[in-house]
Amino acid sequence: MPWTIGTLWVCALLAQSLWPISSEAANPDVLKPRVPQDQIVEARSWQNPFSSSPETIAQGKKIFEGKAFCVTCHGRDGKGLGKIPGLVGKLPRNFTDTAWQAARTDGELFWILKNGSPGTDMAPFIPLVLTENEAWHVLLYVRSFGKQ
């Protein structure tokens, strides 16, 4: 096949999909469910018993930046601090990514706080660091990053 401009263009597109240079938002891996298949139906049925308000979000923010130290990996702006020395594997999530926000139910995020994200540096926080009620408040704060 002759090397036309068209073939070069296709090669460039392929190269970009193999070595993405754009932000994490363009990475389809981020959208893949983290909860194992055999537990996801149950996890998706869990609902946040608290509703989002300036007060509940503020409570979640306090925990996120304080005793649960989420901020050390996810950043004050929720965008994730990128590659952190000492950590391996996947990057901390960018909570301002609206495609990611839409791909997850509250129940799935709660499952992650209970179990961690398997095979990544995202550890379980319930019950050692967070009570279930605190976790739901932190999640209201995590959700608020997607609404800015």
Residues 20, 27: contact at Cβ < 8 Å? yes
Shortest Å distance, C-beta 52 to ligand HEC: 15
Which DSSP state fits 29? G
Instruction: Tell me the H-state helices in 19-120.
Output: 37-45, 54-65, 71-74, 98-103, 106-115
Helix/strand/coil for 36: coil
Quick check: 57 binds ligand HEC (CB under 6 A)? no
- Part of the chain binding ligand HEC (CB under 6 A), chosen from 2-10, 41-49, 50-58, 114-122: 114-122
Q: What angle do CA 15, 20, 12 make, to 5 degrees?
A: 25
| 120 lines the binding site for ligand HEC (CB under 6 A) | yes
Q: Does 138 bind ligand HEC (CB under 6 A)?
A: yes
Nearer to ligand HEC, 57 or 109 (CB): 109
Within residues 65-84, the interface with ligand HEC by CB under 6 A covers 68-70, 72-74
Query: Torsions phi, psi of 30, nearest 5?
Result: -60, -30
In the complex, the smallest distance separating the C-beta of residue 110 from ligand HEC, rounded to whole angstroms, is 9
The least CB distance from residue 127 to ligand HEC, in Å, is 12
